[in-house]
Structure 1
């Protein structure tokens, strides 16, 4: 597969969202910005978000909804490799933000649930009902690490609830084509979980009391996995791994890895174009955005 460089010089890009005009929106976690990358590679700042904007998705009102992890420290371990770390000294909490794409105005929908601050909201997916699932990966320091949570919320800013906890770094989240299965990628274990959706914001009990859902696969080796996107045929494309690429996982756990030469930290993928066969991939560690002709179409999202 051929990967074309669409843009570079981005400050740890994540959360790609393909637009109808051929551009793609990406957040920059390190700079706290939302940026539009035009088809010719030109970059335009859409909004200043602060903190650490992470996953992003278009909602039912045409606004962009952003998981803001509250900020991260970064270390430049090589000329083309930035690595995220602990929360910065000025960290307060994470949040869910709404960006009006017509004027770049930003508002905060949620920054706490049940009286507890959100720690590190990470990735987001809307369902057909207009609500959204999002993961909270948590924060860590040299002594401790949060347990992660899965939340469900509405765009009204008044309906947020915790749905499932006990996860070790929940990151990527996506829905199956028929909306009956929710997939969650667990960063630190290299696992992909599947959870049965029984209604808006509702999940069936896990088959095992100590597991968040049905285990689809544990990737071999010490693979740190990240965000994901689902194909129209049901395959789950998970970014990450030690060699920088996308792992394509069947619902039964069979998988293959697509390598992106020269990249180490690959964090997200989305699909765009008229046939949804254009894959946009963020290589956050190097600050690059890639474009590739994907062999199969991606799943059409609930809103775009």
Structure 2
């Protein structure tokens, strides 16, 4: 797979979105901002968000919705690579934020569910109804981990529900083309989960006492990050340590596409045929572009 360097010098990029004008807006988690990257590689700051802007997506209102982890990480420089470290001292939790591209207003819409503070919101995806599925990654503690979860919320601020609790480290989230399945990548387990949707915003019960169906567990020590879905239903998950993108077929088979960074965090699709793919290579602070072998799934909303 041939890859093209679009830009570099980013501070742990994530959450890439293909905008209607052909630019890419992405998050810089360490840099605490949203950044626009033009096709010629030029960068401009869109908004300083504070905290830790992680996943991002365009909602039905044309605004950018941000899963902000609240500045959960301490940052480690390891031989010139930027590595997320332990939970930062003083971290109290994250939020789901909304940035209005027209007015420049940044606001927090959700920071708790049923009276319990969100820990580290990570990634999000909008369904056809305009509701948002998002993951809370949890965080590390000196004693172990605070578990994460999978949530559903409405953009008017009227409803948030925890659809799965006590997940180890949920990260990337996406919907199948028919929106009958929510996919979640678990970082620490190297596992892709599938959760069946009973109705918009509500998951069906898992099989037995399992939270959901297991699509596949990667072999060895490989970690999973954020994801995008192909039009044909494969789920493309950014892979850590075995740096690149792993495409999971719903039947459990996988194929790996290497990228020269140990910590690839996300992929997004665009272009006239939806085969242009942009990949965030985070430990080296780079954004790459490539031609994907198959078209990606067009998201429900854009701006």
Task: Give the TM-score category using the shorter length.
Answer: over 0.9
1:51 is displaced (CA, Å) by 0.3
Structure 1 regions of 5+ residues with no counterpart?
none
Q: Distance in 2 between matches of 1:103 and 1:276?
A: 30
Structure 1 residues 22-61: aligned runs within 5 Å: 22-61=22-61
Between the aligned partners of 1:204 and 1:25, the Cα distance in structure 2 is 34
CA contact (8 A) 1:166 1:212 kept: no
CA distance in 1, matches of 2:217, 2:176: 19
Whether 2:231 is the aligned partner of 1:224: answer no
CA distance in 1, matches of 2:283, 2:240: 13
- Aligned to 2:145, what secondary structure does the other structure show? coil
The match for 1:269 is: 267
- In 2, the alpha carbon distance for the partners of 1:90 and 1:101 equals 30
1:2 aligns with 2:6: no
Q: Partners of 2:239 and 2:134 in 1: how far apart?
A: 19
Alignment correspondent of 1:74: 75
Shift of 1:158: 2.1
| Counterpart for residue 292 of structure 2 | 294
CA deviations on 1:40-92 (whole Å, 9 max, x unpaired) are 1010100111000000110001101000001121000011x111022323422
Does 2:122 match 1:122?
A: yes
Alignment match of 1:284 (pick from 282, 285, 296): 282
Determine the C-alpha separation between the residues in 1 that align with 2:15 and 2:129. 22
Partner residue, 1:241: 240
5 Å matches for 1:89-238? 89-209=89-209, 211-238=210-237
CA deviation string 1:93-144 (max 9, x = no partner): 2000101112432110011111111000000000000001000011112322
Work out the CA distance in 2 between the residues paired with 1:169 and 1:153: 20
Structure 1: how far apart are the matches of 2:85 and 2:144? 13
In 2, distance between residues paired with 1:113 and 1:85?
27
Unaligned runs of 5+ in 2: none
| Count, aligned residues | 301
On the 8 A contact 1:123/1:171 being kept in 2, the answer is: yes
Q: Deviations over 1:163-217 (max 9, x none)?
A: 11121100010000011011010110000011111111111110030x2201100
- Which has a greater percent of strand? 2
- Give how far 1:287 is off: 0.6
Moved more, 92-101 or 136-145: 136-145
Q: CA deviation at 1:15?
A: 0.4
- C-alpha distance after superposition, 1:212-262 (max 9, x if no partner): 2011000111111000100000000010132210001100001110001x3
Question: Aligned-pair RMSD on alpha carbons?
Answer: 1.0
Partner SS state of residue 253, structure 1: coil
* Secondary structure at the counterpart of residue 162 of structure 2: strand
Aligned residues of 2:280 and 2:286 also touching (Cα < 8 A): yes
Alignment check: 8 A CA contact 2:149 2:162 kept? yes
Measure, in 2, the Cα distance between the counterparts of 1:94 and 1:153: 15
User: How many angstroms apart in 2 are the aligned matches of 1:205 and 1:23?
Assistant: 40
In the TM superposition, structure 1's runs of 4+ consecutive aligned residues that sit over 4 Å from their partners are none
User: Are the aligned partners of 1:20 and 1:273 in contact in 2 as well (CA < 8 Å)?
Assistant: no
Instruction: Look up the SS of the partner of 1:86 in the other structure.
Output: strand
Give the TM-score of the pair, scaled to structure 1: 0.97
